[in-house]
Amino acid sequence: MLETESFWGRRSFPRFPADRWAGRATCLRLWGRERESTPGPLLCGRPVPPAGPEVEGQPGAVWPGPGRLAGAAECTMLSCDICGETVTSEPDMQAHLLIAHMENEVICPFCKLSGVNYDEMCFHIETAHFEQNELGRNFERINPILYGTSDNRRDSAQQSRMEVHASIHSPCASNHPNISAQSQPKDGTLEHQAFFSENLTESRKFPGSKEKQSDLPKIKGPIYGTVYSPPECPFCGEIEDCTQDMETHVKTNHANLLDTPVKDCDQPLYDCPMCGLICTNYHILQEHVDLHLEESSFRQGTDRVQYSRDLELAHHLQEEEDRRRAEESRQEREEFQKLQRQYGLDNSGGYKQQLLRSMEREVNSGRMHPSEFHRRKADMMESLAIGIDDGKTKTSGIMEALHQHYQNAAPEVRQVWLSAAVDHFHSSSGDKGWGCGYRNFQMLLSSLLQNDPYHDCLKGVAVPCIPKIQSLIEDAWREGFDPQGATQLNDRLQGTKAWIGACEIYTLLTSLRVKCRIVDFHKSTGPLGTHPRLFEWILNYYSTEREGGPKVVCTSKPPIYLQHQGHSRTVVGIEERKNRTLCLLIFDPGCPSREMQKLLKQDMEANSLKQLRKFVGNLKHKQYQIVAVEGLLTAEEKIARRQASQVFTAEKIP
């Protein structure tokens, strides 16, 4: 005990009496074994099997220790139930238990449970692995009886039992440094089939006689009666005769506590109507269905919340869409009203109303005397009544002045072609901003009235005022000309500031039996958006022979109506310069009379022609349309043209 005392002195663990260690070691059996009454003072194990044949068949006998002869002084060898280690004394066994099993971690040999103390591990094996525990213990006790009569094979059987015993305890024995790692399974567990395979192997190796085999049932009864304890149900405590009966009992009476339902059992089964799960108990099924209902209720509540959110989002999106559409509608309405104002369709009055408001502003600002206002108003009313322009915006004699200028000056010009005589009409305060088309028609008509071939056709016609021109266009619509244009302008021009373009000029001239055509230069034909083909077409219109003629050619051709986006002008001639470039001569209704009258001076300056000259690089609008007069129409041709105007078409270049 001095050695043991010194060992305790070196340890930091609490010191326990030897009798307490002995009692603890005796009670704690890893395999759940009951206490056995074995001869000799055993601490925690069973006697080591005899080492020689002289002690065979003597139960409870003591045998010599290692290295001693039979008959020598008796020594009790103690074997550890956990790892199979043998020691010679109880103090050595106490030290072995403390070092190998108490301090180190205890691991369950069946399921690798760890982290519990020794008592808890014993209780775990007794309750969770009682079948494997009983099976291993029964095989351990039956093997000596079944194979104990083989004299010549006793050593090998004893060795096999020791190997099985060591393999059973290998998870715990691995804590001991003396145990080889080769005896341990790779996964640290041992299935109970190992016991069957070992015993079957022994029976194959040493088949006995029929008599010995027939004695087995006789021996089996008393053996099981003495060493076999019947299994107890872990759920209700009922005891059965064998393991198979206990398994049937558990699967039959406690199937609701198992993971899988029992097959081929008379107990009724219940299917879940929602998911198809099979239950063996009605109450379990009811709880299971209640969970389904709670989940469904929760999902419905979630769905209602989600539906409320979706509905709120839908209302929000609809409100945004309504606001967007309202804003777009407002913008479209404003743009349309802007276009109506721009093109004079906003019902704000026509030529008469605009002229009166303009004169009133001048009176209010002091620039016009009231008497002058009334005089001008009377003149306007008289002009509107007879439908003839009062001539206050007309400038005559410009074409003659141009002919004289080119004859005496303009050395840079190689040749020039001038149209027939034409008067210039500019916009007044009554049509400012929208009357360019009407003023260009007045210029064109003034040339036709001075041209003998057209004078007979237009007999009795004078240059009309703007309201009269609007009335003439409405009359042409009523005759059936250009129904699409009439629809676009609401079949009404009088009393409005509606713009007119090439189509209305064509309609009006055709209704007056003047033969003309529309040519559409719908895209540029030169670099940088220029239209050189337009200049070439106008040159071909005015000139017949370009070579060998005089420098100034006064033709009988009427001027050309030139329309582009937002404005219209009148082409009265074309120049061909010495560098072979072309230049148009254009009357612009936006040019006031005082500027045009500068062209009537005898000493006309070259700078005065700048307002008339337009080179190729000056005309860069995307599209240009011209109305060119080509003669007179017969009555039949007029009817044909009226029918053709149902679907308006134009000649396109290019």
Residue 253 has pLDDT above 50, yes or no: yes
Residue 35 has pLDDT above 90, yes or no: no
Residue 400 lies in a domain: yes
Tokens 């003669």 belong to residue: 631
Residue 500 lies in a domain: yes
Q: What is the DSSP letter of 622?
A: S
| Cα 356 from Cα 377, distance rounded (Å) | 7
Q: Among 31, 119, 146, 118, which residue's Cα sits nearest to residue 81?
A: 31
pLDDT band at 265 (very low <50, low <70, confident <90, very high): low
Q: What is the pLDDT of residue 133?
A: 64
Q: What is the pLDDT of residue 105?
A: 65
Q: Bridge-partner residues for 47, per DSSP?
A: 78
Residue 534 has pLDDT above 60, yes or no: yes
Active-site annotation holder among 80, 83, 279, 436 = 436
Residue 206 has pLDDT above 50, yes or no: no
CA distances from 121 to 14, 30, 89, 108, 230 (A): 22, 7, 26, 7, 21
Residue 436: active-site member: yes
Q: Among 377, 348, 344, which residue's Cα sits nearest to residue 362?
A: 377
Tokens describing residue 291:
């969970």
pLDDT band at 258 (very low <50, low <70, confident <90, very high): low
pLDDT band at 104 (very low <50, low <70, confident <90, very high): low
| Cα 622 from Cα 207, distance rounded (Å) | 117
CATH number at residue 414: 3.90.70.130
| Cα 285 from Cα 278, distance rounded (Å) | 8
More confident site: 39 or 538: 538
| Cα 481 from Cα 460, distance rounded (Å) | 23
Q: Among 90, 94, 116, which residue's Cα sits nearest to residue 30?
A: 116
Residue 567: active-site member: yes
Q: What is the DSSP letter of 343?
A: T
Structural domain boundaries enclosing 631:
392-652
Residue 282 has pLDDT above 60, yes or no: yes
The pTM of this model reads: 0.54
CA distances from 213 to 135, 207, 225, 289, 333 (A): 22, 9, 20, 58, 114
Residue 372 DSSP SS3: helix
| Cα 500 from Cα 566, distance rounded (Å) | 10
Residue 225 has pLDDT above 90, yes or no: no
More confident site: 117 or 361: 361
pLDDT band at 138 (very low <50, low <70, confident <90, very high): low
CB-based contact 231:239 (threshold 8 Å): yes
Q: What is the pLDDT of residue 456?
A: 80
Q: What is the pLDDT of residue 169?
A: 40
More confident site: 183 or 392: 392
Residue 303: active-site member: no
Q: What is the pLDDT of residue 97?
A: 78
End-to-end CA distance of the chain, in Å? 128
Q: What is the pLDDT of residue 266?
A: 63
CB atoms within 10 A of CB 86: 15
Q: What is the pLDDT of residue 232?
A: 83
Least confident residue range of 52-66, 357-371, 539-553: 52-66
- Across the range 85-91, mean pLDDT stands at 84
**Helix, strand, coil proportions of the chain in percent (round to 5)?**
50, 10, 40
Residue 581 lies in a domain: yes
- Across the range 147-169, mean pLDDT stands at 41
Tally of structural domains, the chain: 1
Q: Among 312, 308, 270, 277, which residue's Cα sits nearest to residue 291?
A: 277
Residue 567 has pLDDT above 90, yes or no: yes
| Preceding peptide of 654 cis, ω within 30° | yes
Q: What is the pLDDT of residue 404?
A: 92
Q: What is the DSSP letter of 600?
A: G
- Across the range 460-465, mean pLDDT stands at 92
pLDDT band at 1 (very low <50, low <70, confident <90, very high): very low
Which residues, other chains included, contact 211 with Cβ-Cβ below 8 Å and sequence gap of 6+? none
DSSP per-residue letters across 483-546: HHHHHHTTT--TTS-----HHHHHHHHHHTTEEEEEEEE-S--SGGG--HHHHHHHHHHH-S--
More confident site: 119 or 436: 436
pLDDT band at 542 (very low <50, low <70, confident <90, very high): very high
Q: What is the pLDDT of residue 317?
A: 92
pLDDT band at 91 (very low <50, low <70, confident <90, very high): confident
Active-site annotation holder among 155, 567, 591, 621 = 567
CB-based contact 241:251 (threshold 8 Å): no
Exposure on the CB side of residue 300, measured as CA atoms within 13 A: 6
CB-based contact 471:494 (threshold 8 Å): yes
Residue 636 lies in a domain: yes
For the chain, give the mean pLDDT: 76
CB atoms within 10 A of CB 490: 10
Residue 547 has pLDDT above 90, yes or no: no
Q: What is the CA radius of gyration of the chain?
A: 64
- Across the range 516-521, mean pLDDT stands at 96
Residue 491 lies in a domain: yes
Residue 284 has pLDDT above 50, yes or no: yes
Tokens describing residue 134:
């009983």
Q: What is the pLDDT of residues 479-512, one digit of tens each?
A: 999 999 999 898 999 999 999 999 999 999 999 9
Q: What is the pLDDT of residues 318-343, one digit of tens each?
A: 999 999 999 999 999 999 888 877 77
Distance, CA of 79 to chain centre: 75
Active-site annotation holder among 81, 389, 423, 588 = 588
- Across the range 190-217, mean pLDDT stands at 39
Residue 147 has pLDDT above 90, yes or no: no
Residue 215 DSSP SS3: coil
More confident site: 505 or 108: 505
Q: What is the pLDDT of residue 92?
A: 85
Residue 425 lies in a domain: yes
Least confident residue range of 209-213, 293-297, 445-449: 209-213
Phi, psi of 20, rounded to the nearest 5 degrees: -70, -40
Residue 467 has pLDDT above 50, yes or no: yes
Beta strands 567-577; 582-587: pairing state: antiparallel
Distance, CA of 317 to chain centre: 18
Q: What is the pLDDT of residues 596-646, one digit of tens each?
A: 999 998 778 778 899 999 999 999 999 999 999 999 999 999 999 999 999
pLDDT band at 3 (very low <50, low <70, confident <90, very high): very low
Which residues, other chains included, contact 425 with Cβ-Cβ below 8 Å and sequence gap of 6+? 389, 393, 394, 395, 439, 442, 443, 446, 463, 589
More confident site: 207 or 96: 96
- Across the range 112-122, mean pLDDT stands at 76
Residue 629 lies in a domain: yes
- Across the range 267-278, mean pLDDT stands at 82
Helix (H) or strand (E) holding 356, with range, is helix 351-365
Residue 518 lies in a domain: yes
Q: What is the pLDDT of residue 214?
A: 39
